[in-house]
Chain A
Amino acid sequence: MIRFENVGLRYDMGPEVLRDLSFEIRRQSFQFLTGPSGAGKTSLLRMLFLALRPTRGLITVLGRDVATLSRKDLPSIRRRIGVVFQDFRLLDHMTTYENVALPLRVRGKEEREYRQDVVDLIKWVGLGERLNALPIVLSGGEKQRAAIARALIDQPDVLLADEPTGNVDAPLARRLLRLFLELNRSGTAVVIATHDLGLMEQVDARRLILSEGRLEIYD
């Protein structure tokens, strides 16, 4: 689904921050991306969701070589990749319902077509009581779940989550992990970037470990 071949990344004329990355995110797979702070997890995630071009190597996303993609092609590919940002990036003037429905709204769908699906998904992530709440009154965990629901609403082929448990306590982190596993069972490939060892120990999943710009893979 997403394939990296000898990918390298450098900023300006500095040293390579990511070197010779070769791996594949397979359909319906589940993996953790981990490594010490500053190892390049966020840069790698940005390359995975087409926000950053590599300085060398080949990246293929959903069968397309990203080097040959024009800007016009990007939205249709991005719509098949769900992203959960570490800082949630919810729009403060919109309710939980409106934030979660946003990806469908920008695709031009009518509200009556998706209303029930959005409500069902919000209930599934446990925010049924917070449907009409603005982000400012949501807790960190609730914001995280709203952000996850927004990433999932259009049933992406792959979900990328950057430190999804970074702002929540251990019980909620376990609950979010169960949510990701359930999602994976329903067919979505999941990549969770985290440095939470406790979280990774709960699941026997593939680990992509970044260290000093290189990637080690433990299947």
Chain B
Amino acid sequence: MTDTAATTADVLARARRFAARFRGERQTPIVPAGNVAGRAMTTVIAIMTFLAALTVGAVSLVGDTASRWQNDISDEITIQVKPGEGLDMAQALETARQIALQTPGVKGAAVLDEAATGRLLEPWLGEGVDFSELPVPRLVIVSIDTEDPPNFAFMRTELKEAVPQADLDDHRAWVSRLVTMARTVVFIGVFVLSLVIVATTLTVIFATRGAMSGNRHIVEVLHFVGARSSFIAREFERHFLRLGLIGAAAGGIVAIVLFAMLGSFTAANRQTPEADQISALFGSFTIGWTGYAGVLLLVATVATLTALTSRWTVMRHLAEIDMISPVEN
């Protein structure tokens, strides 16, 4: 039979099988639906996909959080007014605020009131302290246009002339350190993710090959009753794609549910100290569409990898038993 004739016959056979399935004619699958090795493989795939999905979600979360930190801090600057002999603090704060507002590139400025200052210092000084009795510096929070930022040097000079006790902090050093830290954290996250993906790939390959070893006799029987290699490979590929999808989807869904639960926990307990701590680090604990897309991509990749491994194992086994030369063996 020529290649073209064989391909045509193969296509026709597939069409006939599809039509039979469409009519509801069910036959026992050539590869048995479930055995211990298959179930173990599905479980291993589910666990590894879950761990890899957690890593994908965590890296996405850390990446988003790092960029949020950077944005939040770089669009705010502070003016600090230190107490001094004979200084009218309220007047000084108002002057500093007005100077800030008059500078081009400033979107808004607000004096941090005594209550807010008290909350900031509460961890060090405790509750119920009368700040009017203490020489505590006060702050003016200035929002800036990140697209068209103000001239900080000019603003600093203007402030010094009007209020000598005022210092302008544009957070540049802090932002620079934070950016470095955020990039390092994301780099470490990507490195860990790479390791987890390599481990997942190897585990999936070995689990699939383990499950396939219990089916070698089926490959041999099909081979010796005249099945084409493509037919045998397709039967196994379909079976293992299904098992891979079940395992990977289970792992991925559990990971997504876990992220959703943590997200709703932080949202529902926004006022509690525990949620405050989590929010302080991660904001509103959500992994965003990149995280969900990453998990879906992971599920598809793991299922495809399982199917391809089974195909590769079948083809390799067929090559071993097919017209082997005893000296080459």
What is the interface of chain A, defined by CB distance below 8 A to chain B? 9-13, 49-53, 55, 66, 69, 71-76, 78-79, 83, 85, 89-91, 93-95, 98, 102-103, 105-112, 150, 154
Contact = CB atoms under 8 A, between A and B. Distances in A.
Contacts of B224: 49, 51, 78, 83, 85, 89
B72 interface: no
A53 B324 contact: yes
A12 B324 CA distance: 12
18 contacts: A12-B327, A52-B325, A55-B327, A66-B323, A71-B319, A75-B228, A75-B229, A76-B1, A78-B225, A79-B226, A89-B217, A90-B221, A103-B225, A107-B13, A108-B10, A108-B12, A108-B231, A111-B27
**Chain B interface SS verdict (over half):** helix
Interface in B300-329: 319, 321-327, 329
Contacts of B327: 10-13, 55
Interface residues of B, number: 37
Interface of B: 1, 3, 6, 9-10, 12-14, 16-17, 20, 25, 27-28, 30, 32, 217-218, 220-222, 224-229, 231, 319, 321-327, 329
A89 B3 CA distance: 30
A107 B28 CA distance: 16
A66 B14 CA distance: 29
Nearest to B1: A76
A77 to B, nearest CB: 9
A91 B322 contact: no
Given A52-B323, A78-B224, A108 B16 contact: yes
Nearest to A94: B28
A41 to B, nearest CB: 16
Given A76-B1, A93-B32, A71 B13 contact: no
Contacts of A105: 27, 30
Q: By CB atoms of chain B within 10 A, which of A74, A98, A106, A111 has the most?
A: A106
Contacts of A69: 323
B325 A106 contact: no
A89 B220 CA distance: 9
B28 A106 contact: no
A71 B322 contact: yes
Contacts of A111: 20, 25, 27
A103 B226 contact: yes
A51 B321 CA distance: 7
Nearest to A89: B221
A110 B16 CA distance: 7
Given A91-B218, A106-B231, A108-B10, A55 B27 contact: no
Contacts of A106: 30, 222, 225-228, 231
